[in-house]
Structure 1
Amino acid sequence: MEAPICLIENTANGKFVVNPKAIDILSRFSQPAVVVAIVGLYRTGKSYLMNKLAGAQKGFNLGATIQAETKGIWMWCVPHPLKENHTLVLLDTEGLGDVEKGDSKNDKWIFTLAVLLSSTMVYNSKGTIDQDALDKLKFVGEFTELIKVKSKENDNEEAEFSRHFPSFVWAIRDFHLSLEIEGNKVSADKYLENAIANKEVEKTKKDKKYNDLRESIRMYFGNRKCFVFDFPTIDNKTLQTLENVADDKLNANFVTQCKEFCDYIWEKADTKMLNDTITVTGHRLGELAKIYTDAVSNSKFACMEDAVVSLAEKENKMAVQEAAQHFEDGMKKIVLPTKTLDDFLTQSSQYEEEARLIFMKRSFRDNNQQFLEEYLKNIHKKKEEFSAMNEEKSREVCRALIKKLSADFEKALKEATYHTQGGHAKFKEDLKAIETKYNVESGKGVKVEEVLQEFIKSQQSSEIIIIQEDNALNQKQKQEEEENARKKIVAMEEELKRLQEVQKEQKVEEERDNIQKTFDKLMEKMEEDRRIMNEKLDQVIRQKERNQQLYMDQGLPRHANMYQEQIKDIKQEQKEESGPAWYEPIVSTFKKVAGELSTLLHLLTASPFPAGSQQLDRLSADTGGEEQR
């Protein structure tokens, strides 16, 4: 994008509307998105920092008057300066506290959308972190009314926020104090932590309100960072045209601080994730923007779980469609007929592998394996269709070749050339010559034996008549020749039946192999998701244990006990996730699909997985052995 575009428009009637053009832009890239949003009071220089993050002097409108410039949420997508194959999505939000709007609900939802869409949220303020600055963050204390993590009633909703909320960066502009606490120099981060620390003793309701806001900030935003910025310049005219001012004309400390801020965001801001394991791409970000904006516009609370479910359904449908289309497009490249069935299966397996990767990459949260089943059946159906096309093309080629090679032979039959003394010998000689020429021709495909048998069998009645009319043969010889002709047909039928069984087994083995590969890939993916989620939960537990100990040390048992309950719930979730319930639906789906596929009908009572499957054997051992399996 050469310039920012409005992502979510704040209309005159107070409704939020997603811009279709912006959604179209987001839909064009499938790279992971690092989403950085900035919020804060209007006229505090938010847009300047966002332009710096974009690596540009101009972009987001800075404005130079007392009126708020940015309306709604504006978006700028740029290549990430450090992370290869990632997109940096910058969201510049409408300034809070716009006197022209005078609507706290408007500010509340702007703040909420920024939290829901970003992986890192920058809160921009001026002066110092005092009570007034913290009061501007009052929306944090209202998140339980605005945002739900789960659709069902959840007694511990607040504990869930820290797992799903973005990293929090406080940028303090025009900072004019010394970073000291009780005469000791401290870092900006220590300054922030001190400012949001609880009063050790709650004597009044005012003390409780004081503590609750700070507690919410610490609980919801577990990963916190602070930057302070000097005045960029003391010249008022320069301030009004910062987008046109070179860095060497600004306060050197301010320039250095801006660089440190940008370096931190570029290096530390994470990719936007859902449920710890689902990477948000441009397309997914656009869908989330639509889902959350719709909730805001209808004055509902925004439910994260519902958003993920809605997004998963759309993404899984697209995963099935894209994978199936890729497989079909690939199969269309195969030159039909293939020389052998092996050639066909080898090429189809290659395109199935590519389709499998596409499906696995895009599909997520397919809890009932509904879309996995649809994917497997779609691929199987398309493969069968192309297999039938391959066979039919082979028949066409073989029949055309037989027709060409047997033209003189058919003419001789029509003219009764073989209905003479010694005619049968000539008949067999000419028929053998056709068979020989037919066999040496290339490019006939997988139905070569079937079409040859079809041709020879079609000549059987003519041959019997020729034998009976051949006076060079005595009665015994005629009987022997007729018997030999029939035996040849029987032998060819048996050989054809044997070849068909071999081909059927080839298809079965190939189907088994591809189903097994899909199973293995899915298990790898889900095991990796579980590993990442457990790591995330371990981080959350450690963070909450630190907070618990802090409150114990401060003599605040009410707060310490609250964290203890949260830790207990998270550990219970980890325990449940480690049991067999997470993989049993997957195994059931694969068995069901394998049993239904037409090429595996004779395996209805067997496992769809090869004996000794390491994945299943290991899972069985992990969960109680063969009985559990």
Structure 2
Amino acid sequence: MCSDFQGDNQNDSWIFALAILLSSTFVYNSMGTINQQAMDQLHYVTELTEKIRAKSSPDANEVEDSADFVSFFPDFVWTLRDFSLELEADGQPISADEYLQISLKLKQGTSPKDKNFNLPRLCIRKFFPKKKCFIFDRPTHRKKLGQLETMHDDELDPEFVQQAADFCSYIFSNSKVKTLSGGIQVNGPRLESLVMTYINAISSGDLPCMENAILALAQIENSAAVKKAIAHYDQQMAEKVELPTETLQELLDLHMASEKEAIEVFIKNSFKDVDHLFQKELAAHLEKRRDDFYKENMKASSDRCSALLKDIFHSLEEDIKQGVYSKSGGYRLLIQTMQELKKKYLEAPKKGIQSEEVLHAYLSSKESVIDAILQTDQNLTEKEKEIEVQRVKAESAEAAAKMLEEMQKKNQQMMEEKEKSYQEHLKQLTEKMEQERAELKAEQERALSLKLKEQAMLLKEGFQNESRQLQREIENLKNNMERRRNRCIIS
């Protein structure tokens, strides 16, 4: 809100510009009627194009289009204190808004005086998308004005109290959230960033630029949006994931669900992500987290399986050390015992995705011991021993082939997951771009509509002025002809 400016003109001009940039409803508070003196006091409005830029690189040969300013300028409310006129025009009662509209009409003419009269009016009409006017009678008798701070409403002029109530009702009902170009709504943190961006520009001798301010704000907001999205992902995964998972797909499904929500969080809290750099940064972070979860899942499974194997095969290890199988018939007994222990291991739950790999590695580490027991078992013939060696090799080769197939399957799943991740990012980005495109189109149409409306009003006023001028000329012509006719009759 803004009242009469006093003091250093340069500072007041910057304060006025900042008030325009930061407010969604700009209240200009002055005393008396709207006359040329009131307009002269509002001369700061004529300097706005010299204090504010909409674009970082406007065409040097053109004054910035007023439509660029309309997209982020506030509504304009002119409040007139101690108003003493009767609201009438051509003998008919008019509203305060109609009074403002009449007061903003332009004069026909190109003289310096006409230009001085028209310039502030033209600026108000062109730059502010919505205009409103409120008048206030004197709140109480002149002698009591010094006591206003201590007076209750019932001691004030009832007309003034009603006018104040109407004004407050309008402001509370119609003032919108401050919105920047592109439909970006300003909250508390964003307001702080905007203030600092504008003040830094002014302090450095530059002009506050809406486009630059939005980009600077976007850098801060988008960086925070990435962190917020990652935090959401981490929270979701911490709540949902219990390592090790039984399958890789189970982990990938949990990752995909959490990633989708994380992207939604980013999309909701980001804007003006030029070249999608911040979304690419988010994608890289999420991919790393997925890979980290994959490694953690592998380790958790390996640790679980190793501990399980150590527990299940402990008795076998002790028997081998004690030479229980180093005797005739010991090999058959060893193989039978190992099959029973393998079955017990395989039936144990929650081993995770490394179950086969860890078992294969364990059995491979025992091959030399098993072979030694086979070779020393006197109950077996040389032919039986050879057959058994071939059987063990075949089992080992089959297990290795199965592991290779499993590894290829995991790699394929990871590749498919990358593609799903890319498609999800693309899907949500496309939806956001469509939404922003629709919002930008609506904003441009609104600005164009306001511009065309103002141009139509200017044309209408021009035609009306020309019509009045023509009517005056016709009347003068009639009068001249009447005077001539009268002279002729007298003669």
Could you say whether these structures have the same fold, taking a TM-score greater than 0.5 normalized by the shorter chain as the test? yes
In structure 1, the gaps of 5 or more residues are 1-37, 42-95, 557-629
What's the offset of the Cα at 1:548?
2.3
Aligned amino acid, residue 546 of structure 1: K
Residue in structure 2 matching 1:327, options 225, 233, 238: 233
Structure 1 residues 341 and 533: CA distance shift in structure 2, 3 A: same
Residue of structure 1 in register with 2:219 after alignment? 313
Structure 1 residues 346 and 233: CA distance shift in structure 2, 3 A: farther
1:174–1:230 Cα contact (<8 Å) kept: yes
**Distance of 2:407 and 2:85 partners within structure 1:** 87
**Distance of 1:203 and 1:348 partners within structure 2:** 70
What's the offset of the Cα at 1:419?
2.1
Aligned pair 1:535/2:445, yes or no? no
Structure 1 residues 247 and 299: CA distance shift in structure 2, 3 A: farther
SS at match of 2:71: helix
Aligned pair 1:40/2:40, yes or no? no
Residue of structure 2 in register with 1:191 after alignment? 99
What's the offset of the Cα at 1:555?
3.8
Normalising by structure 2, report the TM-score: 0.89
Residue in structure 2 matching 1:182, options 80, 87, 90: 90
- RMSD (CA atoms): 1.9
2:105–2:461 Cα contact (<8 Å) kept: no
How many positions carry a matched residue from both structures? 459
RCO (CA 8 Å, sep 6+): is it higher in 1 or 2?
2
Residue in structure 2 matching 1:280, options 180, 183, 186: 186
Aligned pair 1:170/2:75, yes or no? no
* Structure with larger Rg: 2
1:394–1:447 Cα contact (<8 Å) kept: yes
SS at match of 2:350: coil
What's the offset of the Cα at 1:237?
4.4
**Distance of 2:199 and 2:443 partners within structure 1:** 28
Q: Deviation per CA, 1:19-52, whole angstroms, max 9, x where unpaired? A: xxxxxxxxxxxxxxxxxxx1012xxxxxxxxxxx
SS at match of 1:300: coil
What's the offset of the Cα at 1:434?
1.6
Aligned pair 1:152/2:60, yes or no? no
Residue in structure 2 matching 1:437, options 318, 338, 344: 344
1:312–1:365 Cα contact (<8 Å) kept: yes
What's the offset of the Cα at 1:362?
2.0
**Distance of 2:427 and 2:448 partners within structure 1:** 31
What's the offset of the Cα at 1:342?
3.0
1:39–1:124 Cα contact (<8 Å) kept: yes
Q: Deviation per CA, 1:89-145, whole angstroms, max 9, x where unpaired? A: xxxxxxx21xxxx31112111111111111111111121111111111111111111
Residue of structure 1 in register with 2:30 after alignment? 125
Normalising by structure 1, report the TM-score: 0.70
Q: Deviation per CA, 1:402-454, whole angstroms, max 9, x where unpaired? A: 00111111112223322221112111111112211112222222211211121
2:25–2:76 Cα contact (<8 Å) kept: yes
Residue of structure 2 in register with 1:234 after alignment? 141
The answer to which structure has the higher helix fraction is: 2
Residue in structure 2 matching 1:135, options 36, 40, 44: 40
1:158–1:220 Cα contact (<8 Å) kept: no
Aligned amino acid, residue 79 of structure 2: A
SS at match of 1:426: helix
What's the offset of the Cα at 1:265?
2.1
**Distance of 2:212 and 2:276 partners within structure 1:** 18
**Which sits farther off after the overlay, 510-519 or 102-111?**
510-519
What's the offset of the Cα at 1:236?
4.8
Structure 1 residues 351 and 241: CA distance shift in structure 2, 3 A: farther
Structure 1 residues 257 and 500: CA distance shift in structure 2, 3 A: farther
**Distance of 1:141 and 1:385 partners within structure 2:** 60
**Distance of 1:350 and 1:248 partners within structure 2:** 62
Aligned pair 1:380/2:287, yes or no? yes
Structure 1 residues 506 and 203: CA distance shift in structure 2, 3 A: closer
What's the offset of the Cα at 1:293?
1.6
Residue of structure 2 in register with 1:518 after alignment? 425
Q: Deviation per CA, 1:60-109, whole angstroms, max 9, x where unpaired? A: xxxxxxxxxxxxxxxxxxxxxxxxxxxxxxxxxxxx21xxxx31112111
Residue of structure 2 in register with 1:342 after alignment? 249
**Distance of 2:153 and 2:261 partners within structure 1:** 49
**Distance of 1:252 and 1:237 partners within structure 2:** 15
Aligned amino acid, residue 259 of structure 2: E
**Distance of 1:521 and 1:230 partners within structure 2:** 55
1:232–1:239 Cα contact (<8 Å) kept: no
Aligned amino acid, residue 40 of structure 1: S
**Distance of 1:237 and 1:349 partners within structure 2:** 71
Q: Determine what percentage of the aligned residue pairs are the same residue.
A: 35
In structure 2, the gaps of 5 or more residues are 464-491
Aligned pair 1:365/2:328, yes or no? no
**Distance of 1:513 and 1:120 partners within structure 2:** 46
Residue of structure 2 in register with 1:296 after alignment? 202
**Distance of 1:234 and 1:342 partners within structure 2:** 82
Residue of structure 1 in register with 2:19 after alignment? 114
**Distance of 2:46 and 2:376 partners within structure 1:** 106
**Distance of 1:296 and 1:271 partners within structure 2:** 25
**Distance of 2:205 and 2:344 partners within structure 1:** 80
Structure 1 residues 245 and 406: CA distance shift in structure 2, 3 A: farther
1:337–1:391 Cα contact (<8 Å) kept: yes
Q: Deviation per CA, 1:585-608, whole angstroms, max 9, x where unpaired? A: xxxxxxxxxxxxxxxxxxxxxxxx
**Distance of 1:394 and 1:225 partners within structure 2:** 70
Residue of structure 1 in register with 2:312 after alignment? 405
1:233–1:239 Cα contact (<8 Å) kept: no
Aligned amino acid, residue 196 of structure 1: L
2:71–2:180 Cα contact (<8 Å) kept: no
Q: Deviation per CA, 1:225-266, whole angstroms, max 9, x where unpaired? A: 111222222265465443x54433332222222222222222
